[in-house]
Amino acid sequence: MAAYVHGYGDRERQRLQDQAETLVELLHADTVYPAGSAVLEVGCGTGAQTVTLARQSPGAGITSVDVSQASLRLARAACQTAGIGNVAFRQADLFALPFEPGSFDHVFVCFVLEHLADPGRALACLKRVIRPGGSITVIEGDHGSAYFHPDSALAHRAIQCQVALQAAGGNANIGRQLYPLLAKAGFARDSIKVSPRMVYVDGSKPAWIEGFTRNTFTAMIEGVRDQAVAHGMMTQAEFQKGIQDLLRTATADGVFCYTFFKATATL
Ligand SMILES: C[S@@+](CC[C@H](N)C(=O)[O-])C[C@H]1O[C@@H](n2cnc3c(N)ncnc32)[C@H](O)[C@@H]1O
């Protein structure tokens, strides 16, 4: 992975947590694995999704891997605090997974492909460890799906800074590509189901204003300010106004829309 655009700081850990808590119902309600099944979570990070995954499928045995030891430590702690007992953590690079072919019934991967230079090769590596008849679930965002009221050219430019910076080793607009990526990786075309999950936030949804518009999306864009300014993409003042305009959409008469993509496929 190229330099991880969001970094591994406390603020990013909190952002991933806010994101996971706000999006639990929208993204995870329909992911339930049968008791006794072996599930591999790839790129578990600080465990923001792991706790939900494990709670939703208490009878499944979940193995959660990440390249970052520091994140794995936090993920372990999060599961301990939540009283989760069906997850084993292990450090591993998804491009060189230390598992035999066909070791898992299901693979789950959330917000990871967007950070990889070669998501197609990643899916091929994940496919190797799924048993025949097993499944993969992939969840990704797509920053091209962000639109809002009041509209703002500077807010769109600030979002574009994040997209351009991430393009060095990933793709912030990858959600729309899940079907072709899975098909190319060899998952049966008629088994691939992509379900767009739209977040719609207006003044009647204070929890979403806080949890998504402010603390997930705007916090993420704000996180690239220094890099964007250092690369001369926007001036400090322009970027700051873009952020202010995003926050303006999180007020009583503002509206913010964003679409995640969730795909499932079987072998
Ligand atoms: C945006 S975080 C998502 C974490 C978690 N899935 C979530 O949704 O909160 C991306 C994670 O992928 C991990 N990652 C990136 N490249 C990886 C690789 N080659 N193998 C394993 N993990 C990787 C990063 O360390 C990071 O923890």
C-alpha span between 26 and 13 (Å, rounded): 20
* Other beta carbons within 10 Å of 259: 17
Q: What is the DSSP string of 210-238?
A: IIIIIIIIIHHHHTTHHHHHHTTSS-HHH
The CB-side HSE value for 16 (13 A sphere, CA atoms) comes to 24
Half-sphere exposure of 219 (CA within 13 A, CB side): 20
Specify the ligand 1 atom closest to the Cα of 1.
Answer: 16
* DSSP assignments along 194-211, one per residue: EEEEEEEE-TT-HHHIII
Query: Pairing mode, if any, of strands 38-42 and 104-110?
Result: parallel
Q: What is the pTM of this model?
A: 0.91
How much of the chain, in percent, has pLDDT values that exceed 90? 89
Superfamily of 10-266 according to CATH: Vaccinia Virus protein VP39 (3.40.50.150)
- Give the model confidence (pLDDT) of 18-44 as tens digits: 666 678 889 998 999 999 999 999 999
Q: Separation of 123 CA from ligand 1 center, angstroms?
A: 14
Asked whether the predicted pLDDT for residue 193 surpasses 90, the reply is yes
Contacts by 202-205, CB closer than 8 A, 24 or more apart: 202/254, 202/255, 203/251, 203/252, 203/253, 203/254
* Per-residue confidence band for 1, with pLDDT thresholds at 50, 70 and 90: very low
Interval between CA 48 and ligand 1 midpoint (Å): 11
Residue to mutate, 28, 41, 66, 72, ligand 1, most ligand atoms under 8 Å from C-beta = 66
pLDDT tens digit sequence for 80-89: 999 999 999 9
Domain range annotation of the chain: 10-266
The pLDDT score that the predictor gives to residue 7 is 65
Q: Is residue 9 scored above 80 in pLDDT?
A: no
State the residue for tokens 């990526």.
Answer: 181
pLDDT at 255 over 80: yes
- Residues of the chain with pLDDT > 70: what percent? 92
Per-residue pLDDT at 239 exceeds 90: yes
User: Are residues 219 and 11 in contact, defined by beta-carbon separation less than 8 angstroms?
Assistant: yes
The pLDDT value recorded for residue 2 is: 46
The tokens 């204070």 sit on which residue? 206
CA of 149 to the centre of ligand 1 (A): 32
27: closest CA among 267, 195, 176? 195
CA distance 165 to 107: 28
Token couple for 25: 């119902």
Distance 124 CA to ligand 1 centre (A): 17
Lining ligand 1 with CB less than 6 A are 1, 16, 20, 43-45, 48-49, 66-68, 71, 93-95, 110-112, 115
pLDDT digits (tens, 9 = 90+) for 98-153: 999 999 999 999 999 999 999 999 999 999 999 999 999 999 999 999 999 999 99
Token readout for 207 is 């929890």
